[in-house]
Amino acid sequence: MRVVMISKACIVGIYQRKLEAIARRGIELLVLVPPSWKDERGEILLERAYTDGYRLQVVPIMFNGNFHVHFYRGIGRYLRDFRPDIVHIDEEPYNLSCWQALYHARRAGAKSLFFSWQNILRDYPPPFAWGERWVLDHVDHAIAGTESAARVWRDKGYQGAISVVAQFGVDPSLFHPSETRPDRPFTIGAVARLVPEKGIEVLIRACAALGGAWRARIVGGGPERAALESLVFELGVAAHIEFVGQVASVHMPALMSSFDVLVVPSLTRPNWKEQFGPRATVEAMAAGVAVIGSDSGAIADVIGAAGVIVPEGNITALTDALRRLRDDPYARGLLATAGRMRALDRYTYDQVAAETVDAYNRMLG
């Protein structure tokens, strides 16, 4: 089976483990990626990290950073030369790049699928509504990252086959519990874009009320960093909180081992709620790091009973949860073990790849 995947997400090196796992299942795979992607954190460059068994090809991107109207130059030529059976479009169906890829897939005589995290039923103005309708009427399959995303597309009238498969997972050989714990204060981690909806201000205020011995490491970049740093000084906890900045995905296993707990404090907005959580959520679980998440969107579904869920925006509840895990290492250890088991059961790259290839096989019937 020959598959072309078009994916800006696969510029992240650690995500490429899924591509290797797909190729190991007998798929002749060509993955088209841009040289970089721009968002609130700045420009994220391609990490060419895990490329065994498949071809990773860089193609020029136009309108880089514009989620709705970016597209690629030259993908029609790659599809004509490769002659795929399936074109895997790693984009939402209301985006120009999805329309472009579907157009070329149809011209090449290939089956096609799109991937979606969209978990809020939203109506878009023309031309995005028209393009979305055209995709839903002509694509052969859909992969939704969560059940709530699948429901959105059913409610939008999509009648084709849908598979529910997480876009990415975790490699348990890279993310695993540390054999020893260094002598350090109780360490709280957060890995997120520094934007209001990620709730880092809530985390900082919860930490400031914690008392006792602790430290926090906030990993990521974004437009809120300066304001968050000012808040840290205002609350008098600058000696306890470190802003790490962007970290390459291949360095995340070592960073994760420096945490005792990972916090995912996301906040729902009228046009957004957490679609899965940062990839660090399942990475922490696999690494034997206890996880605390807010109840925004899909976070509780991802963590299940293997972590602590607190009401989003509730500073007191988050402080109490952090204090319990700091002061009770046994309870923290139980959550760490449960998280590791859940990650191995649901979120390994091998499992994600197997379910993706199963979707391919269903498409070809």
Please answer whether residues 346 and 305 qualify as being in contact, where contact means their C-beta atoms are separated by less than 8 angstroms. Answer: no
In order of 216, 241, 252, 325, the CA distances from 189 in angstroms are 6, 10, 12, 13
Higher pLDDT, 346 or 360: 360
pTM of the model: 0.87
- Cα-to-chain-centroid distance, residue 168: 7
The single-letter DSSP state of residue 10 is: G
Domains 2-169+348-364 and 187-346 share a fold: yes
pLDDT tens digits along 76-89: 999 999 999 999 99
The mean pLDDT of the chain is 94
Amino acid at 162: I
Q: What share of the chain is helix, strand, coil (3-state, %, to 5)?
A: 40, 20, 40
Lowest mean pLDDT among 24-28, 137-141, 267-271, 318-322: 267-271
In order of 91, 112, 146, the CA distances from 143 in angstroms are 10, 11, 9
Quick one: tokens of 36? 């970089």
Three-state secondary-structure class, residue 73: coil
Query: Looking at residues 313-331, what average pLDDT do you find?
Result: 97
Please report which confidence band the pLDDT of residue 41 belongs to, taking 50, 70 and 90 as the band edges. confident
CB neighbours (10 Å) of residue 8? 21
pLDDT tens digits along 205-231: 999 999 999 999 999 999 999 999 999
Query: Looking at residues 336-350, what average pLDDT do you find?
Result: 94
In angstroms, the CA 358 to CA 58 distance is 27
Please answer whether residues 132 and 68 qualify as being in contact, where contact means their C-beta atoms are separated by less than 8 angstroms. Answer: no
Residue 180 has pLDDT above 90, yes or no: no
Q: Which is the CATH superfamily of the domain at 187-346?
A: Glycogen Phosphorylase B; (3.40.50.2000)
In angstroms, the CA 162 to CA 142 distance is 5
What are the domain boundaries of the chain? 2-169+348-364, 187-346
CATH (one of 3.30.750.24, 1.20.1070.10, 3.40.50.2000, 1.10.260.40) for 2-169+348-364: 3.40.50.2000
- Per-residue pLDDT at 140: 97
pLDDT tens digits along 49-68: 999 999 999 999 999 999 99
- Going by C-alpha positions, the residue among 82, 155, 134, 87 that lies closest to residue 115 is 87
In angstroms, the CA 38 to CA 67 distance is 9
- Going by C-alpha positions, the residue among 307, 308, 285, 312 that lies closest to residue 297 is 312
Residue 278 has pLDDT above 80, yes or no: no
